[in-house]
A = this chain, B = another copy of it.
């Protein structure tokens, strides 16, 4: 693996998993020593992170960007626009059998959620397959790219929310509804199902974020 790739993956992971808090200054020498690479590949990694919006050029060096409540609202506003359109396009252009299969698998998602694996690997993998299927079905690389760049931030937010079994079960049902609408080749229904799902996700994130806040300050 290239050193710049290694540094990028490590830093990205540290930021997304909140091991590097917002506002942290990423000094080049400090980070290059910590990650065991020289400054050149490290700078490349920082450039990629900044392009993605995970870091921003601050006075000296780059700093880990903050995610405020307003950011979450803005992020979901854009997400609703993009994923709503994507679901509609997938319904128009996608292959019905693919999404029928995903719908069937999502019906059994509760088994994955309540299984032995505390990381819920299989569940998240299944949701990821739905995302990938939509990406492939829309046949619009620019839209797919825009959604990919959003997902980085969404993963970061997800780590704030308590992914409890109740919410995940409900989310799986919402995903199944999206898959069903796409399989039925109904663009407007697919978009509506997506809108519904995102609104509920947002509510959940904001609720847990608020209680986190209370925990820390009250």
**Interface, chain A (partner B; CB < 8 A):** 40, 43-44, 47-48, 51-53, 71, 74-75, 77-78, 81-82, 85, 89, 139-143, 145-146, 150, 153
Chain B residue, CB-CB nearest to A73: B140
User: Would A78 and B43 count as touching, CB distance under 8 A?
Assistant: no
User: Would B53 and A51 count as touching, CB distance under 8 A?
Assistant: no
User: Would A78 and B140 count as touching, CB distance under 8 A?
Assistant: yes
Cβ–Cβ < 8 Å partners of A145 in chain B: 53
Cβ–Cβ < 8 Å partners of A78 in chain B: 140, 142-143, 146
Question: In angstroms, how far is the closest chain B Cβ from the Cβ of A61?
Answer: 15
What is the bound-complex CA distance between A77 and B81, given in angstroms? Answer: 12
Known A53-B142, A75-B142, A77-B142; further 16 A-B contacts with Cβ < 8 A = A40-B40, A44-B44, A44-B47, A47-B47, A47-B48, A71-B142, A74-B139, A74-B141, A74-B143, A77-B89, A77-B143, A78-B140, A78-B143, A81-B81, A81-B82, A142-B150
